[in-house]
């Protein structure tokens, strides 16, 4: 058995902490000893399917203890886990099934209908007993009690994750067993996680940030408390009732937490148990930081920046969150970061360039997508004008992230935009993120804002702002305020008010700019 896999954590926890609660969800709990037993039962059944090594197995279900068992069971075989968030529509699930040839799907009663819509011809396993022809976890737990052992290699494929964005079809990113264990080690280190911690499992488990909560909990023999965020009040009850000490969040969830009237929010004393909050996946605003510190008096707040092609690049030390809240921090342990311009030279302080990630936590590449892989995974030669590679092996791989950032004089990084998001207008390259940040700061009555472009033959692209707020704001007022902070070529030429903005179906943290763009183009045409 490789030491570089999650499976070793489950086995070791069973030896040292068999009676400790590993996972809790509402009124249900499972110990580390029972967790290994059930994981082994499901893994044994999966192996009896006799699928070829490396076969992909999808999980398309609600959050719960059974879902975590399914994840760990697949990782205890030589098959590959493909998480499918329950927010995906049938046609999106069908796309992923075909793209990576999923041979088996583990699901629940509610999602069986969606699977039937796409006429999936592989194996189906349900948590609950639903039909005589569909095996269930209930039956597996009852009848499969034979000893199970496995050999997992750290370099083997472990997970393929997909994220449906705003345009086009996604490509799966391939993650090895070693990637999973390395990410658990490094996060546990810099967050100072302890055995006594209770981690909130509020993130969905379709991407590495969510999955990492499971693996960090296993790594430290801590407890994972599962919860699905629907209402802020229920979420706070989860934190209080489950004695949560560590919370991983998306920025949009931080905003949603404090949407309630102040008298409905719990007192800081009730939340004093929380010691760590992390945020990744978007911009952290000073308002978010202020609210977190007001209601979580003992918290260390970590703002982080992750990649599609590697687990994580940066984190901002909590001591800096009030000094530079908009910074994404510095490199995490075992990572070197460089900012280079189009000529391959290292950028000067505050000069915007592309972020290059060197060192640990780099994933294996995009599934069956050599062009996309070649675009992101580069030879160390890309840094030949930045570092001395004389005498070093020339086949080292780094990640050209496609993220535009800059570094200040003290070495802290600041995110500007994704390469694909940049708008070309009037001969300038404009970051939508930069305009959106100014809107958040200078127009506090705006709830949500999306900046994107539409074609304009005279100036290449025309900048559009679509926003939501309690009531419509005269466009001239918005333009007047933005002109105080932005160059003239960055001012949106079209400003559109909507009561609410559509979100990406598979990621409720992202505004669906593509849908907004199509609506606008349809109205123009």
In this predicted structure, the answer to whether residue 166 has a pLDDT above a threshold of 50 is no
In this predicted structure, the answer to whether residue 415 has a pLDDT above a threshold of 90 is no
Confidence of residue 179 (pLDDT cuts 50, 70, 90): very high
DSSP secondary structure letter of residue 417? E
Confidence of residue 167 (pLDDT cuts 50, 70, 90): very low
Please provide residue 524's backbone torsions phi and psi, each rounded to the nearest 5 degrees.
Answer: -75, -45
* Domain 422-524, classified CATH 3.40.50.11540, yes or no: no
- In the predicted model, what is the mean pLDDT of residues 211-223? 98
Residue with tokens 């934190």: 239
Confidence of residue 208 (pLDDT cuts 50, 70, 90): very high
Domain residue limits, the chain: 6-176, 325-418, 422-524
Question: Which pLDDT score is estimated for 428?
Answer: 67
| CATH of span 6-176 | 3.40.50.12780
- In the predicted model, what is the mean pLDDT of residues 325-336? 94
What would the pLDDT profile of 417-426 be if each residue is shown by its tens digit?
777 677 878 7
What b/e readout covers 43-79, taking b as 16+ CB neighbours within 10 angstroms? bbbbbebebeeebbbbbbbebbbbbbbbbbbbbbbbb
What would the pLDDT profile of 354-374 be if each residue is shown by its tens digit?
999 999 999 999 999 999 999
- In the predicted model, what is the mean pLDDT of residues 116-138? 90
H-helix or E-strand spanning residue 513: helix 513-524
In this predicted structure, the answer to whether residue 331 has a pLDDT above a threshold of 60 is yes
The stretches of 258-364 forming alpha helices (DSSP H) are 286-295
Question: Which pLDDT score is estimated for 87?
Answer: 76
Question: Which pLDDT score is estimated for 164?
Answer: 62
User: Which one of 2.30.38.10, 3.20.20.70, 3.40.190.10, 3.30.2130.10 gives the CATH number of domain 325-418?
Assistant: 2.30.38.10
H-helix or E-strand spanning residue 114: helix 112-117
In this predicted structure, the answer to whether residue 168 has a pLDDT above a threshold of 60 is no
Q: Are 118 and 72 in contact (CB under 8 A)?
A: no
Confidence of residue 218 (pLDDT cuts 50, 70, 90): very high
What would the pLDDT profile of 468-485 be if each residue is shown by its tens digit?
999 999 999 999 999 888
The Cα–Cα gap between 118 and 302 comes to: 41
- In the predicted model, what is the mean pLDDT of residues 74-89? 92
In this predicted structure, the answer to whether residue 110 has a pLDDT above a threshold of 70 is yes
Question: Which pLDDT score is estimated for 242?
Answer: 97
Percent pLDDT > 70 in the chain is: 96
What would the pLDDT profile of 283-293 be if each residue is shown by its tens digit?
787 888 999 99
Number of other residues whose CB lies within 10 A of the CB of residue 138: 14
Mean pLDDT of the chain: 91
Domains 6-176 and 422-524 share a fold: no
DSSP secondary structure letter of residue 490? G
Question: Which pLDDT score is estimated for 286?
Answer: 83
Low-confidence winner among 136-150, 158-172, 273-287, 351-365 (lowest mean pLDDT): 158-172
């Amino acid at each position: 058995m490789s030491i570089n896999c999650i499976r070793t954590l489950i086995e070791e926890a069973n030896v040292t902490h068999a009676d400790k609660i590993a996972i809790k969800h509402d009124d249900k709990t499972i110990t580390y000893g029972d967790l290994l037993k059930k994981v082994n039962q499901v893994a044994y059944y999966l192996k009896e399917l006799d699928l070829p090594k490396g076969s992909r197995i999808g999980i398309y279900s609600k959050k719960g203890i059974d879902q975590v068992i399914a994840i760990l069971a697949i990782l205890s075989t030589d098959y590959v886990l493909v998480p499918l968030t329950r927010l995906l529509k049938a046609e999106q699930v069908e796309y992923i099934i075909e793209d990576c040839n999923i041979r088996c799907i583990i699901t629940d009663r509610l999602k069986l209908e969606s699977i039937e819509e796409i006429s999936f011809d592989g194996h189906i396993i349900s948590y609950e007993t639903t039909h005589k022809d569909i095996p269930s976890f209930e039956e597996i737990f009852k009848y499969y009690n034979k000893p199970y052992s496995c050999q997992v290699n750290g370099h083997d494929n472990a997970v393929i994750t997909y994220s449906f964005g705003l345009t086009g079809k996604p490509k799966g990113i391939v993650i090895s067993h070693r990637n999973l264990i390395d990410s658990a080690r490094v996060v546990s280190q810099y967050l100072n996680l302890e055995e006594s911690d209770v981690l909130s499992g509020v993130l969905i488990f379709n991407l590495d940030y969510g999955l990492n909560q499971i693996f960090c909990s296993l790594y430290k023999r801590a407890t994972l408390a599962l919860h699905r965020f629907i209402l802020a009040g229920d979420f706070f009850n989860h934190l209080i009732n489950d004695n949560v000490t560590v919370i991983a969040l998306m920025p949009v969830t931080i905003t949603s937490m404090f949407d309630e009237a102040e008298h409905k929010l719990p007192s800081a004393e009730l939340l004093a148990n929380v010691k760590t909050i992390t945020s990744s996946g978007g911009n952290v605003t000073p308002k978010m930081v202020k609210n977190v510190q007001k209601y979580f008096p003992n918290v260390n707040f970590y703002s982080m920046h992750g990649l599609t092609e590697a687990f994580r690049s940066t984190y901002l030390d909590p001591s800096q969150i009030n000094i530079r809240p908009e910074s994404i921090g510095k490199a995490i342990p075992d990572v070197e970061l460089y900012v280079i311009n189009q000529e391959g030279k290292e950028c000067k302080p505050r000069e915007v360039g592309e972020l290059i990630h060197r060192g640990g936590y780099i994933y294996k590449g995009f599934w069956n997508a050599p062009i996309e892989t070649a675009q992101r995974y580069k030879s160390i030669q890309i840094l030949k004008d930045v570092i001395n590679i004389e005498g070093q092996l020339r086949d080292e791989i780094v990640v050209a992230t496609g993220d535009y950032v800059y570094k200040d004089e003290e070495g802290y990084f600041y995110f500007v935009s994704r390469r694909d998001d940049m708008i070309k207008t009037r001969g300038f390259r404009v970051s939508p993120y930069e305009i959106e940040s100014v809107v958040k700061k200078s127009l506090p009555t705006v709830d949500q804002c999306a900046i994107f472009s539409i074609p304009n033959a005279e100036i290449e692209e025309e900048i559009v702002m679509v926003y939501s707020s309690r009531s419509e704001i005269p466009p001239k007022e918005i333009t007047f305020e933005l002109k105080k902070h932005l160059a003239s070529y960055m001012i949106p030429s079209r400003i559109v008010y909507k009561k609410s903005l559509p979100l990406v179906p598979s990621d409720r943290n992202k505004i669906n700019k593509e849908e907004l763009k199509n609506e606008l183009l349809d109205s123009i045409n």
